[in-house]
Structures are given as C-alpha cells and as structure tokens.
C-alpha cells in the first residue's frame, strides 16, 4: 500500500509542479517575456493533454485505496471518479490537443526552442532525465509521420517537463522515484509499481495532510 500511495503522490506532485510553472509563465509573458510566451503556448497544451489523460486512472486508484468508504457518495470520491474523464471533453479531446501542440511546434517560432530550454535547465542532474531530453530532441527534430506519433511525442514532452521540474524543485526522493518509474522504465503500467529503493515513507509523509 505504501508503494501505491507513494506513486499517487508522485503523480499529483508532478501535475502540481507543472501547473505552478505554467502559472509563472503566464505572469512572465504578461510582463513581456517572449520566451515565456512561447513556452506557455506549447506547454499549456502539453500538460493539458497529459494531466487529463492521467486523471481518471488516478481517481480510480484513489477510490480503490479507500475501499467501500471511497465508493459511497458521501466520500466525494465517486464524483471525482465520474467527472475526471470530463477534463478531456471540456478541454478538448486528446487528439485535438496533440494537433494543437504540433501546430505550435511547426508554425509558431520559438516554441520548440523555448520548451527544450526549459526542460534542459535540469540537464546534468539526473542521467535518466538527460536521456529523456535527448530522445525528445530527436523526436522534435523529425516531423515525418508526426501525426501518427503525436500522442507519443506529447507524452514525452510532458514527462520530460515534469521530470525537469521535480529534479529542480522537489526533494531527491520524489525526483528519483519519478525518473526511475516514468523516465527509465523501472515502473509498471499500474500505480503501485515503483521499483526497489524508493523512499515510500518520505514521499507519503511529504503529502500527508497537516491537521
């Protein structure tokens, strides 16, 4: 159970870090920073796609953790579970958002450069992140069959950005677990499959409500 809880915490922290970074980019762009505007343009769509795709599974796992108490309406979880898929309806379907990312990358000057500059701020801090950035640069440098690869490319962008943000701003145990499971392939496809060596207790304690 600690493995499951820690995995859910990592996903939540990565999404939160991305949202906060986007908020800062909006402020910077409002102050006239062109690179911030370019980053904001593409990163908004990238994170919108990824968080919307991850939300239903995250809500389902959280509901399961609570068991019967999570299933009853009084808990609030059933509502979150039902409404999580609506994110990719109200905010645009996954394919539409991915096409928006491709449009920004191909038609709007500086978006790819601004995005790669942002994720590269963490270069050298973790070899798994470095490898993910290298692969992403290769993907963005090849637009052949790009629509077929759109979801894969946008997923790589989202994970590289989240990984970069966590490596720069989160405790080492969080960043290490994210890079191991999301970037190095040491995690499984379900929540609760973090690899050996992850500090579950420290991650959970960081997210434990303070009452």
CA–CA separation, 174 vs 6, rounded Å? 9
Structurally, how many domains does the chain consist of? 1
pLDDT on residue 89: 85
Residue at token pair 């499984």: 188
Tell me which residue range forms the domain holding 111: 2-207
3-state class (DSSP) for residue 194? coil
Residue 136 Cα distances to 45, 139, 159, 164, angstroms: 16, 5, 10, 13
The contacts found for 32-36 with CB under 8 angstroms, 24 or more apart, are: 34/110, 35/110, 35/114, 35/117, 36/114
pLDDT on residue 48: 96
CA–CA separation, 30 vs 139, rounded Å? 30
CA–CA separation, 19 vs 189, rounded Å? 24
Whole-model pTM: value is 0.95
Residue segments in the chain with a per-residue pLDDT below the cut of 70: none
């Amino acid at each position: 159970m600690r493995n499951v809880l820690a995995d859910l915490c990592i996903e939540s922290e990565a999404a939160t870090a991305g949202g906060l970074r986007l908020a800062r980019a909006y402020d910077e762009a409002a102050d006239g920073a062109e690179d911030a505007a370019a980053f904001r343009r593409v990163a908004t769509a990238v994170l919108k796609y990824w968080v919307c795709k991850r939300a239903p599974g995250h809500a389902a796992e959280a509901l399961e953790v609570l068991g019967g108490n999570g299933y009853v309406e009084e808990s609030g979880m059933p509502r979150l579970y039902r409404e999580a898929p609506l994110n990719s309806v109200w905010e645009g379907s996954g394919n539409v958002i991915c096409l928006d990312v491709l449009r920004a990358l191909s038609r709007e000057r500086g978006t790819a450069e601004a995005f790669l500059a942002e994720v590269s701020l963490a270069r050298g801090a973790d070899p798994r992140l470095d490898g993910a950035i290298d692969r992403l640069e290769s993907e963005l440098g090849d637009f052949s069959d790009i629509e077929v690869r759109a979801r894969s490319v946008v997923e790589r962008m989202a994970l590289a950005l989240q990984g970069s943000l966590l490596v720069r701003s989160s405790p080492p145990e969080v960043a290490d677990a994210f890079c191991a499971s999301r970037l190095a392939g040491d995690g499984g496809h379900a929540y609760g499959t973090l690899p050996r060596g992850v500090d579950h207790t420290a991650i959970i304690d960081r997210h434990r409500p303070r009452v």
